[in-house]
Chain A
């Protein structure tokens, strides 16, 4: 047996010293290893609002947070994940201003002939892809061909099919229409000008080449992607050497990252989090509105009765939804399109208010008191659950018996595509930001012959055709007004708010914008001190 020792040798280093050393090392680890972007003053100062000249800084790395990853294989589709790429790596042909007019981008100007059956588009000279190859009319033709292919999934293909595009010069394109079509350029607000030589390598994200202000560097799927400053960009010199985008799916983690200065920008934050950051001094840029609605499956009883549908529309507390769920970053509205859409009036946007008595009377008249009604909130919208709670409360108040149905994110698109909801659902149509014609042609809930609402009477189809076939703006305004009134009366697509996408920026970061397709536009962004 080992003898028990009773002697004690003093250690070379005392425990107190070890503890002190460990604490010091931990402190150094905590503080010393922080990697924050460095800023250097730029030569060109920007004029300040009070006559002073704040210094524009050159940032070595702009850090952006986004809630969902990119989908390179769907680059020509209008998907939320790709919004961080569409105007950073890529450029678009045209943009749309706040007044709804088209704004030149890679296309400098365009003209219709007198009977609006021919459109000539002229392209910007001196634009190059990141590979150094010049951008020409052939590239636009390539993008259009790819968008029109089966399986491209490009929503705007239905707009492109209305015309035939051909090359009429190195930097000029001609589009011929069988019948006048006013919304053709909408397609180019949403289509990024991808590179024909590297298009096949886009799908796995190994090589993504565009003409935008940033070149593609790397992608770790589900985690981050990085871009670098493109020195030969045709537009403004953007004072950011790199753009690092982190995918942060948890809203709490995104909020914490902004508050702890781990990010400079956060895109598509939950509205209440964006509002809380705004009150803490961050700036919040809002996009144009898009349709946030309560859909109705008109093939399901009792929703096949117009009185029940109208009762549902009167039972939606839009003001409460805008205030409580969206913290004011949304406008209550009864219609899917923006209030400045030609033909739309205030009477349309505010047609339905929260009127329990009127709704209850309609339900009693239809003999639907106590009827069960399922509500399926979109699992892809973080606010849809909260909206469903308010909707459920309103429906209970008017004598219905609603319940919430939960589905998985992978199931919801199938239900939208197949019109297979049990009753009501809560979702969004982002394409309404491009106007009624594009939305009616491209969004499944609003299509004419087959849609998610299973609402396809001849009256709807004829009005649908009137809007999309309108040759000029006056004709279009008239058709939109008629369609809007019909939709309000039939109450199958009950818009609750015009919601906005957001980008939250740290203090001093100005000029950040979201375009009409919610794509991040950094071409005028500046960091000033």
Chain B
């Protein structure tokens, strides 16, 4: 197992090195210049040069890369060019907002997906099943930037019961913070919920044909009891796996939702960093995203390896 862990860690480190080169190169090759953004369109060549030297962008790219990686290894993410604050501080300020949004969207996704799935699979009324099916299709076709605008218009502008966006400190203003979470998290959850619902409904229909369900029916159990005690627990697994995959999508979707709902999250920060070519900030955010994915993958592989010697021994068993 130790050898397996070392092998996987080595592979992960290799991926991180390749990704760091790709992230650095792509951002530097892309048209646009952080110095030009900072100095503004009316800057003189002298001003541009002075800022370039100040930021260290006059050095050869290879040297900039080595310096950046050296800082990363020491746990220093560097300073933002435009905001002039440590990148770690900026990420720390924003991560809470994105996590709140992702957690809230996941909860809504679970509630909506499971409710719709169960209704799809169990309702005795065809009209209900058809209505849920149509609703699922509609939700599936509503990306967050469309549903977000509709939700803002209805709940904030027309009825005035919820704020149109923004965020508030969760610990100091919990109620206000939750109110500001409702619309963006619904907008993010809507397109994913039907996928979970349909998967769950399919699994439930399959489970209903299993022998233990038929046995329970033969013994006189009620439909409700069979659904909740036997069918749902035996069908929920694939749906939960799908929710796990969807959480990754939700983190990506947060970029759009944060822009529409004016939330100060990591997605918004990444947009700002890329638009202003704030290399240090954008590189750190992208590397963090990749590192998070690699860690998740590593954990999954370790869990699988622990349970399966064939994986652990690399196919030599």
Contact = CB atoms under 8 A, between A and B. Distances in A.
Interface of A: 4, 6, 29-35, 69, 71-74, 77-79, 150-153, 155, 203-205, 220-224, 246-250, 252-253, 256-257, 259-262, 407-414, 416-417, 427, 431, 442-444
A409 B40 CA distance: 11
Contacts of B31: 407-408, 410-411, 414
Interface residues of B, number: 62
B41 A256 contact: no
Contacts of A250: 259-260, 262
Contacts of A29: 175, 178-179
B116 to A, nearest CB: 17
Contacts of A152: 47
Contacts, number: 172
Interface in B149-203: 149, 152-153, 156-157, 160-168, 173, 175-176, 178-179
B32 A408 contact: yes
A411 B156 contact: no
A151 B41 contact: no
Given A30-B179, A250-B262, 15 more contacts: A4-B216, A30-B161, A35-B173, A71-B82, A72-B84, A150-B46, A153-B43, A249-B259, A250-B260, A261-B160, A410-B31, A410-B33, A413-B33, A414-B36, A431-B42
A151 B164 contact: no
A253 B164 contact: yes
Given A221-B90, A253-B260, A416-B41, A410 B34 contact: yes
A374 to B, nearest CB: 15
Contacts of A30: 161-162, 179
Contacts of A256: 152-153, 156-157, 164-165
Contact of B178 (A33, A77, A413, A431): A33
Nearest to A73: B84
A444 B264 contact: no
A478 B83 CA distance: 45
B68 interface: no
Interface stretch (B132-140, B243-251, B270-278, B303-311): B270-278
20 contacts: A4-B219, A6-B219, A6-B221, A34-B179, A71-B38, A73-B82, A150-B46, A151-B54, A152-B47, A153-B51, A155-B40, A205-B84, A221-B80, A248-B166, A256-B156, A257-B164, A262-B166, A410-B33, A413-B43, A417-B48
B165 A253 contact: yes
B83 A74 contact: no
A351 to B, nearest CB: 26
A373 to B, nearest CB: 21
B175 A248 contact: no
